[in-house]
Amino acid sequence: MGLLSQEFNNLNDLLVHELKDLYDAEQRLTEALPGMAEAAHNQELKQAFLTHLGQTRTHVSRLEQVFGRLNEEAERETCPAMKGLIAEGEEIIKAKGDPATLDAGLIAAAQKVEHYEIASYGSVRTHAMRLGYRDVADTLQMTLDEEGQADKLLTQIAESSSNPQAASHA
């Protein structure tokens, strides 16, 4: 269902919609991360993707807990943004070329995903706080912190290995 068929009469309606969107996004990501790990040439990058896969499964579980606390059904609302971001990552997975350059592309694709998730979790956390759902906000903050850490790790891998190696082929 797209936004045009939604009805938002209050902040709670918007919160639930955004949580359903995130629930779909995280589940899509659990399907995409194994392929990204397999495509990675750098062992540290491969391990980062596999570690984040475990975290992402935890994020799905946390969202299910949040739905329960809000007395809502844990349902997926198609996340067009994540579908598009994953499609961009799949283009890099299928590409041919220098391994370090391909890893740099995988990192860029993954960071786009992380930034989307950071923005989304930040918004739903803020909505939950405004609505007085402190325990929900705290749970969402844990995931937000992990997404930020994942982004920083990707930057570190890019700056320490993939990008310098890719640049040496220019």
The CATH number of the domain holding residue 62 is: 1.20.1260.10
Q: What is the pLDDT along the chain (170 residues), one digit of tens a residue?
A: 455 568 899 999 999 999 999 999 999 999 999 999 999 999 999 999 999 999 999 999 999 999 999 999 999 999 999 999 999 999 999 999 999 999 999 999 999 999 999 999 999 999 999 999 999 999 999 999 999 999 999 999 999 999 899 898 76
The reply to whether 149 falls in a domain is: yes
81 exposure class (CB count in 10 Å sphere: 0-12, 13-18, 19+): middle
pLDDT of residue 1: 45
Q: Is residue 44, in this structure, part of any structural domain at all?
A: yes
For residue 4, being part of any structural domain is answered with: no
Number of domains in the chain: 1
Q: Is residue 2 part of a domain?
A: no
Q: Structural domain of residue 142, as residue ranges?
A: 9-165
User: pTM value?
Assistant: 0.93
